[in-house]
Structure 1
Amino acid sequence: MSYEEKSSWIYATVAIAMPAIYFTGILGQVSQAPVQQIEYVIPMLTAVGVAILASIVANIVLGIFSSKVTRRTDERDAEIRRRGFNLGFLVFSVLMVVPLIMALAEVPHFWIANTIYAAFALTGFSYSVLKIASYRRGF
């Protein structure tokens, strides 16, 4: 498995695990209190920060234990990265229509912010899954 593929696995894991933990905790409160009373800003910023930190640390550890030969990239890696980025951009663009409509409909900020966070998470996950599939099956 190449360094780029391992890095994609890290990103996919973090992109799905941290939002899952966040949403489990936050959405569990929806049935207990009105959304205007739910404190979601600090937990969301913490989840984003922890996800970034976890991804950085995991990639540093990966870099330490990977040889220089496995860290080399070639045209295939660049093409897979480009395709993943293009898919991520498409997914994000489509998903961002939902919070835009919600904002226009004056839905509470709680729902808009969480929808945007979900869009970021799904974008990162889809980006990584496409890259992993491309490495596994070829492009």
Structure 2
Amino acid sequence: MLWTIGGAIVATIVLRILVEIVFPSESTKGDVRDKEIDRLGTRVGSSFVVIGALGALVLAMLEADWFWIANVIYLCFVLSALLESITRLVAYRRGVPTW
């Protein structure tokens, strides 16, 4: 699991550098829409971190093996990152929903 996490961090850094070399960002400042989309993505991502924590808590109370507890936490971190990115992409394409 640690190799996977470390590899994901290194891959993200390397890919970001390559993208910036090929398509350099003109501005890193965001407008109001960018802030709203960032907030929405963070809320969706954070909800899966909470779900993972609750799942790990339930497994700990059921005295499950550490292997399963760690995998539930890791799965929810991965789902959190994926769904946060997907939410941001959808929000950029369709706009921020008004609730």
**Range into which the TM-score falls when normalised by the shorter chain:** 0.7 to 0.9
How far off its partner does 1:72 sit?
Answer: 4.7
Cα deviation for residue 95 of structure 1 reads 2.9
Once residues 109 and 68 of structure 1 are traced to their aligned partners in structure 2, the CA distance between those partners, rounded to angstroms, is 43
Superposition deviation, residue 70 in structure 1 = 6.1
Structure 1 residue 87: deviation in Å? 1.3
Cα-to-partner distance string for 1:67-115 (whole Å, 9 max, x where unaligned): 3436553221121111111111122212321111001111000111111
Q: Is the 8 A contact 2:41 2:85 kept in 1?
A: yes
- Percent of residue pairs bearing the same amino acid type: 36
Structure 1: tracts of 5 or more residues without a match: 1-43
- Counterparts in 2 of 1:100 and 1:87: CA distance versus 1, 3 Å: same
- The two structures have a TM-score, normalised by structure 2, of 0.87
With normalisation by structure 1, the TM-score equals 0.64
By relative contact order (CA 8 Å, sep 6+), the higher-ranking structure is: 1
Residue in structure 2 matched with residue 85 of structure 1 by the alignment: 42
Give the total of aligned pairs.
96
Unpaired segments ≥5 residues, structure 2:
none
Runs of 4+ aligned structure 1 residues displaced above 3 Å come to none
Asked whether the 8 Å contact 2:60–2:69 carries over to 1, the reply is: yes
Q: Is the 8 A contact 2:51 2:76 kept in 1?
A: no
Equivalents in 1 of 2:12, 2:41: separation in Å?
A: 18
Are 2:75 and 1:127 aligned? no
RMSD of the alignment, in Å? 1.5
2:52 paired residue number: 95
CA deviations over 1:40-67 (Å, ceiling 9, x no partner): xxxx000000001101111111111223
